[in-house]
Amino acid sequence: MIPKKIFQRIWAIAGAVSVRSKILGIVLGFIILLGVGVTIQSRYALTATMTTQLEEQSVSVSRDLAARSTDLILLNDLLGLHDLLDETLANNPSVRYAFMMDAQGQVIAHTFQGGFPLDLLSINAVRADEHHHTVLIKTDEGHVWDTAVPILDGKVGTVRIGLSDETMQAALSTLTAQLLLTIVLVSAAGILVAVFLTWILTRPILSLVHATQLVAKGDFSPRVLRWADDEIGDLADAFNAMTEELARTDELRRERESLRRQLLEKVITTQEDERRRIARELHDSTSQNLTSLIVGLRIMETNCAQCAAQSKATDLRQVASKTLDEVHDLSMRLRPRALDDLGLAAALERLVSEWQTRYKIPVDVIIHLSERLPGDVETALYRIVQETLTNIGRHAKSKSASILIEKHGDTVRAIVEDDGIGFDVNTNYGERHLGLLGMRERAELLNGTLTIESTPERGTSIFIEIPLTLHSVVGEN
């Protein structure tokens, strides 16, 4: 449990750094670990060897001194003894001091410049039957091996020398310094190798990342280079195959979308044209005929007062009048002439007044348009407002509604609001309810947008924005 947590924490730190830092960390970590290990190991081995050597040297030097001093002591040649000690010191740089004692333990010659340190006497002693006796003295300046050797089994005296480990320490320091220098040099080389290695490794990955970001933004054109014949190379190939496929699919989708738009445009235009034609036909021909019929019937009525056909003529005239009204109504709903002749504002005023009479809901209409809009924009806005009003009348149960249309720079904005029951704008109402969908299509065909905001029990707002520069004028006059 705890190791897992520790591992997670380590991974949280190690995993968060870049690949370069990871490789650098691994390479440097190994070099330093190896270097430190080798240094410790070498120091340990060297210390052991040199310690043995020093001990042996200490014994051999003191034994040699003992052998050579026997005669001089016996002859009481103090000068010779001093010379011998000086020579020993000169020939053996490790020897710190040397001195001789006679059989009674009196120091007869020594190498100390500033007087003999008496406490040295008690530190080491050798028995007569011993070959030699060595003790290790620890001083502030390092270790000293003090060896005592009896001269002629102790009958003549004792020789003592002190061998310092200074040379050994110096050798160890040199070795350590050299090894540390090696670690630093190898680390520097390691850093170079790691940087080069990460460059080799991350270069294709970074280009893949860059290309993927472009693909995520919808640009399927980037292709990545296959840098090497390895797994990353395979990944690059797979990525390229994927983007090619995506580009093909996207192209196909675009073609279909454009075809769909063209078809939709055509359908809408044809529908509008057809409506306009029928409305005109109804107005120009049917209405005219009906009007002539009504006029004829009226003449008949007045010309034949009291004749039997008079009441029949009155009935027929009333039917014809009603039919004329209905034809007007139908023509108006199909395509109000005002939309073509007088413009959007006038057509909407009529639409709204008719709607108000029908649904008995007050509508606040504000239209700020200084000039006429392109025909397709007027038609689209008219149809959108028409559908919105129909929806409010049929579904919203609202107490009032408002319509605002204004030109704002190069766009025309429309807002239609009600304070009715609202609805969930994310619901898919299916194929039988195409009103909202059709409204959006009409706006988008003109590169515009349509946004619906609705809050339950608060009402619905529909925002339409259509640019006046980018769209093409289709099939309108």
In the complex, the residues that contact ligand ADP under the rule CB under 6 A are 391-392, 394-396, 418, 420-423, 429, 433-436, 460
Residues 6+ apart with CB under 8 A from 237: 226
CA atoms lying within 13 Å on the CB side of residue 146: 18
Which position's Cβ is nearest ligand ADP? 435
CB of 405 to ligand ADP, least distance (A): 17
Closest CB 330 distance from ligand ADP, rounded Å: 20
Minimum separation from the CB atom of position 391 to Mg ion (A): 4
The one-character DSSP state at 465 is E
Distances (CA, A) of 103 to 145, 146, 148: 22, 19, 13
In the complex with ligand ADP, the residue whose CB is nearer, 239 or 382, is: 382
In this structure, what DSSP letter does residue 422 have? Answer: -
302-323 burial string, b = 16+ CB within 10 Å, else e?
eeeeeeeeeeebeebbeebeee
Q: Is 416 helix (H, G, I), strand (E, B) or coil?
A: strand
State the binding partner of 190 from ligand ADP, Mg ion, none, CB within 5 to 8 A by kind: none
Check the CA dihedral 89-94-99-100 and report its sign.
negative
Q: How far is the CB of 278 from ligand ADP (least distance, A)?
A: 22
Residue 445 CB partners (closer than 8 Å, separation 6+): 261, 264, 265, 268, 380, 471
CB of 287 to Mg ion, least distance (A): 29
Nearer to ligand ADP, 21 or 271 (CB): 271
343 binds, among ligand ADP, Mg ion, none (CB under 5 to 8 A by kind): none
Tokens of 39: 């240094």
CB of 420 to Mg ion, least distance (A): 13
**Which tokens hold the place of 49?**
């060897």
Is residue 398 a contact point for Mg ion (CB under 5 A)? no
Among ligand ADP, Mg ion, none, partner that 418 touches (CB below 5 to 8 angstroms by kind): ligand ADP
Choosing among ligand ADP, Mg ion, none, which partner's interface includes residue 460 (Cβ < 5 to 8 Å by kind)?
ligand ADP
By beta-carbon proximity to ligand ADP, the closer residue of 336 and 420 is 420
The interface partner of residue 396, options being ligand ADP, Mg ion, none and the CB cut-off 5 to 8 Å by kind, is: ligand ADP
Report the SS3 class of residue 412: strand
Q: How far apart are CB 266 and ligand ADP at their closest, in Å?
A: 22
Least distance from ligand ADP to the Cβ atom of residue 456, Å: 9
C-alpha 263/C-alpha 267 separation (Å) is 6
**Residue 421 binds which of Mg ion, ligand ADP, none (CB < 5-8 A, kind-dependent):** ligand ADP
Please report how close the Cβ of residue 204 comes to ligand ADP at its closest, in angstroms: 51
Helix (H) or strand (E) holding 144: strand 142-151
Residue among 179 and 452 whose Cβ is closer to ligand ADP: 452
Query: Which CB sits closer to ligand ADP, 51 or 461?
Result: 461
CB 246 within 8 A of CB 278: no
Instruction: Please work out the total of residues on this chain that contact Mg ion, with binding judged by CB under 5 A.
Output: 2
Region of 249-257, 347-355, 368-376, 428-436 interacting with Mg ion (CB under 5 A): 428-436
Nearer to Mg ion, 183 or 396 (CB): 396
Residue 48's H or E segment, with its range, is: helix 19-74
Sign of the dihedral defined by the CA atoms of residues 45, 50, 51, 56, in that order: positive
Question: Rounded to the nearest whole angstrom, what is the least distance from the CB of residue 392 to Mg ion in the complex?
Answer: 10
Q: How far apart are the first and last CA of the chain?
A: 79
Site string for Mg ion, 335-374 (x = CB under 5 A): ----------------------------------------
Binding partner of residue 210 among Mg ion, ligand ADP, none, CB cut-off 5 to 8 Å per kind: none
Between 85 and 384, whose beta carbon lies closer to ligand ADP?
A: 384
Q: What is the closest distance, in whole angstroms, from the C-beta atom of residue 444 to ligand ADP in the complex?
A: 15
Instruction: Write out the binding residues for Mg ion, residues 378-397 only, by CB under 5 A.
Output: 391
Give the list of residues 6+ apart from residue 406 with CB closer than 8 angstroms, or none.
366, 367, 368, 369, 412, 413
DSSP string, 241-289: HHHHHHHHHHHHHHHHHHHHHHHHHHHHHHHHHHHHHHHHHIIIIIHHH
Task: Tell me which residues in 429-468 interact with Mg ion (CB under 5 A).
Answer: 435
CA–CA separation, 86 vs 97, rounded Å? 10
The footprint of Mg ion (CB under 5 A) covers 391, 435
